[in-house]
Chain A
């Protein structure tokens, strides 16, 4: 892009916010008037200052209408909005009338905008009369919320992102920022480059890309975080680092917490043994923490997704309260959220155990207050069911109508097959989504087409309490509508029209802001009173703003709690005595390994959006099970072979990757794959439905499993312009490449049978003639479906999982017509002479492969990431791949020396 284009892009661009993680980066989006948009980072947004990660940078590739739900449907047939909404209203009304309001529920999402969230929460808690609304944030944030409320009396993130730049020590606990919050990782890396004295400690059972920037990595035993941070607290007391004045004036319960810490973790060697860490490393960490005033402890799913997640959060907060290192520049506990609007959901109170606007069921005044504000006829008075309990209630028939918005619980819930069973049994399942076909949408009675990112309009809040606008820059396709509109229209049909007469997101936002300020007077942290009268134009133009925004600007502030004033009844911060306890289910003889789950760098959640980007799919086309070589050997598993994971709750298939960095006894599998992209890779079907007793958050990070070889009799690949239906194939994973779908395949049936099945499936999806090769004795088959000379599909089946270089194959798909030589080479499974394989993609932004980078390093003697960037552009945009490039730089000379 030359300067002129860049300038015109900026002129035409609309400021909006990224729909992926909780960093909440600002984006400039310039629609290209086709299906996509040019996406660049917003240089003026405080979260990212122009930076983007690989996923954000590829957003322009994910905007096509492929697979979109564009019209309402009932029982698989298209219908009109009125009919669909009337059916929703009638269904809910009938079930409430017969079984009471607790027989209905909403299951919502951190993908919703705050305005959608607000209307959903208001409708069900104030008007239908039940608190049976929970959000998928339960799966990622609930322990932080619970920990915050125990310690602060409110769900308050005390600090800001700038603390990362101002800290002298950053402790990253259970957070692979390099992949999951890449822009925060980049901010830390930049700060460290500028100020080498900044120390980074990573606390994570896994060796992740984030360790690249760490001065110290503590690969602790899964679930032993409480022990480690109790150790920190005990060490702080031993070293005389407790801020006695702050503790005395601003907190309570310190002695009990310290006593629990000393009893459980008073000895460094015992902590090291309990956490399975080197004693010297633990001592170094304790000393560093004790000696550094400006310390930020960032934590995420490794802390939250645990049966003792809330205790882990409080173990961390205890250390910051004890030192008074909270709410001051460069200091504080810092929960980073996984979703773009998890925080917005918490603000409106759309969790079953919250009421609204940081008001709670356990305060009767709050219930009364919210009821009056809403003029609610049926205000809920007690918490509803949290996600795991909610779906069990559905299966048990206690909940009979369920509206699922913008989320995919059949994939994302633990014991995911239970969710499928539950939805099968449910009288009325309503799903509003932007995608037509998801594992969950397939079980819906009524499908409502929602707007997608780029179309919808409203606000989101990121991990540092910064409210940003998501603005529409694409027109609404088909009959898709905003979620808030569907909810308001349903409310009208339920007879609540007056309370839901919203004309715009601005209307809703004003009411939300007004509720936050209603009878607040500084008693609640969450206060948007200053925005309650914002007019439509100002709402449209709203710049990113951190809450609180009280009516009186003097009450605004960047951070909380430095003043020692908390939101508990007595305004004191509360220490919580916590005792370490292991994950709920321990590995045993039958299920000897612990399964950990998480994200990969370039996929997001259930892949409905990132799965549309070829660049992103190339980074990891298949779900890989990372396992220590010794564990693999014990299970008879070879690198690259397929394996079956079994737990007491379910099973999945994945390809084995031997990983010496993986802890012995712990395997890792990514969470993204689902039935739309793979035959049997919904890892959450394997996950135990154990929850934290306080937060209700599931223990996604620890399930005992057994891994056995998948006895593949054949391996295969199918590449096709049009996606085939692959029913009946044991193992398949689909990923979108440049102009074709790629399927990695394997099965237990005779290869000849698989060949016939696959060939027929590909032929159903695309016309043409087959050219084919078969050596039945070996079990090797290759075929190309050719239509008027152009390659439509190709299929490879054989005894080993080998595929010719994917970039060469991509070239054949680009060709208008295959030459005889290409045709023969394709069936021979050999690329033409002189083709250089690029290897799996490392740099997603510029599509640079691993083999290309290795070759450049070797040939040109490159030694720095900057040199690689200068030679290949790799790593020069989003920087998400810099840890991988550094690893290659380190590995190549070592290999050359061998």
Chain B
């Protein structure tokens, strides 16, 4: 450990998830000498990649494989880690954070990266044994154990997490039914045709999907034994997974009197209503939006690290959002705004025979959103186009066919149409 210097400021990061760990890594990288850093993390051990939990559930990876920062890493970089210790209060006047271990950790700058809570439906039986969420390694372990005996699982929620959970449980040998409130799957990322392809693909591998289905209760005496729906149906279940969404975990900030709405309110510098307190990740609300995806968190971590290091005055303008569904053999990619509004235009490519579908949304000659199903190779390119925000111009005609075609279409000088071309010199 390097010797403490009076000039060093104390940076405390609450939350050792992907946002917190990423921020720390960036700060260490940008300004290794500027801060004494302490990370407070409620989960034991280092930080892991939550995105890959579905791979662990599916059995493609072991829990150790998804760890991004071992506890050694913190030590090696002079970062203090309080793992397995939850922050329970902030004293903004004293500039300390109280932990459930009884510590009061002082700070000059505080970053909240407290993540989100999984939403638990307020229905009877929601707290029964055998009802789990899909949020962390502990949830995954419970599902893996429950699936050991085979049996039936009902996953409530046909969004990204729910479908990944469903596919993971199927591969562990359970008979899985997905119950979804909306008329089509992944409605926040997909449009209806893409969702239909997805549903068909899931059906082919044996995942049943019940759409427009509102869950009224989890049934069962001691343990969950089923789910009953508003239309009167009841689905038997040995395991119930609630994957109906997340909401920002702003508990600590709210209790400390920081301005919060749905999440901790931050400005473009990712500062809260207290100049000494910052927030990033799923717990924040920025320009009215909260993000549950990796890309925006990376961007926030980078911007905030730069500002803390005083190496720049970078600001965070919000993110374009790209989503991939991590289900082996089902390629889905979604980026940007694709809900149709007045003034937006769509370009659609459907090749259902090949299980391929693409939709691009254009506004004022700029790409705003893309949904890809089947062949997602160009997703990254569309993401870049959306972020760059440039005019599409002559690329429009080939745009949906990907980078190669779009460039060609832009250059292409077509021969004149047949019949119009000189048919015969007469």
Contacts and interface: CB of A to CB of B under 8 A. Distances in A.
Contacts of A655: 419-420
A786 to B, nearest CB: 6
Contact of B401 (A777, A827, A884): A827
Contacts of A715: 417
A778 B347 CA distance: 9
B401 A828 contact: yes
A283 interface: no
Sorting the interface of chain B by its residue count into under 10, 10 to 19, 20 to 34 or 35 or more gives: 20 to 34
B397 A780 contact: yes
B421 interface: yes
A416 interface: no
B347 A775 contact: yes
A773 B426 CA distance: 39
B350 A772 contact: yes
Contact of A624 (B347, B348, B402, B419): B419
B167 to A, nearest CB: 25
B388 interface: no
B387 interface: no
Contacts of A839: 415, 421
B231 interface: no
A517 B425 CA distance: 49
Nearest to A784: B351
A248 B421 CA distance: 57
A839 B414 CA distance: 12
A640 B425 contact: no
B417 to A, nearest CB: 4
Given A774-B347, A776-B345, A828-B405, A887 B425 contact: yes
Interface residues of A, number: 59
Interface stretch (A201-209, A299-307, A350-358, A504-512): A201-209
A640 B345 contact: no
Contacts of A778: 396-397
B417 A773 contact: no
B353 A769 contact: yes
A884 B424 CA distance: 6
Nearest to B409: A830
Most buried by A among B401, B412, B415, B426: B426
B342 interface: no
B419 A770 contact: no
Contacts of A775: 345-348, 396-397, 400
A621 B421 contact: no
Contact of B423 (A657, A801, A837, A851): A657
Interface in A600-619: 600-601, 619
A659 interface: yes
Contact of B349 (A208, A773, A840): A773
B417 A803 contact: yes
A830 B347 contact: no
B362 interface: yes
B424 A770 contact: no
A639 B423 contact: no
Contacts of B415: 805, 837, 839, 851
A773 B348 contact: yes
A626 B426 contact: yes
A833 B412 CA distance: 11
A819 B256 CA distance: 62
A619 B424 contact: yes
A752 to B, nearest CB: 12
A620 B345 contact: no
A661 B414 CA distance: 26
B345 A777 contact: yes
A823 interface: yes
B405 A824 contact: yes
Nearest to A851: B415
Given A655-B419, A830-B409, A851-B415, A620 B424 contact: yes
Nearest to A662: B426
B418 A803 contact: yes
A564 interface: no
A824 B417 CA distance: 21
Contacts of B353: 769, 771, 786
A828 B409 contact: yes
Given A659-B426, A805-B415, A840-B422, A824 B401 contact: yes
Nearest to B419: A622
B419 A830 contact: no
Interface in B344-372: 345-354, 362
A864 interface: no
Contact of A771 (B351, B409, B420): B351
Contacts of B422: 657, 840, 850
Given A774-B348, A830-B408, A640 B420 contact: yes
A74 interface: no
Nearest to B352: A769
Contacts of A640: 416-417, 420
A611 to B, nearest CB: 15
A806 interface: yes
Given A657-B423, A823-B351, A830-B398, A840 B408 contact: no
A824 B403 CA distance: 12
Contacts of A659: 426
Contacts of A801: 417, 420
A431 B349 CA distance: 49
A713 to B, nearest CB: 17
Contacts of B352: 769-771
Contacts of A620: 419, 423-424
A858 interface: no
A827 B405 CA distance: 11
A110 interface: no
Nearest to A733: B419
Contact of B425 (A206, A825, A851, A888): A888
Given A620-B423, A837-B415, A840-B418, A771 B354 contact: yes
Contacts of B397: 775, 778, 780, 828-829
B359 to A, nearest CB: 10
Nearest to B421: A840
A776 B344 CA distance: 11
Given A780-B397, A828-B398, A830-B408, A744 B419 contact: yes
Given A823-B354, A830-B412, A802 B417 contact: yes
Contacts of A851: 415
Given A775-B345, A777-B362, A802-B414, 9 more contacts: A207-B426, A209-B426, A621-B419, A659-B426, A803-B417, A829-B397, A840-B419, A840-B421, A883-B425
Interface of B: 345-354, 362, 396-398, 400-402, 405, 408-409, 412, 414-426
6 contacts: A208-B426, A776-B346, A801-B420, A824-B401, A884-B424, A888-B425
Interface of A: 206-209, 600-601, 619-622, 624, 626, 639-640, 655, 657, 659, 661, 715, 733, 744, 769-778, 780, 786, 801-806, 820, 823-825, 827-830, 833, 837, 839-840, 842, 850-851, 883-884, 887-888, 891
Shortest Cβ-Cβ A-B pairs, 3 listed: A640-B420, A887-B425, A771-B351
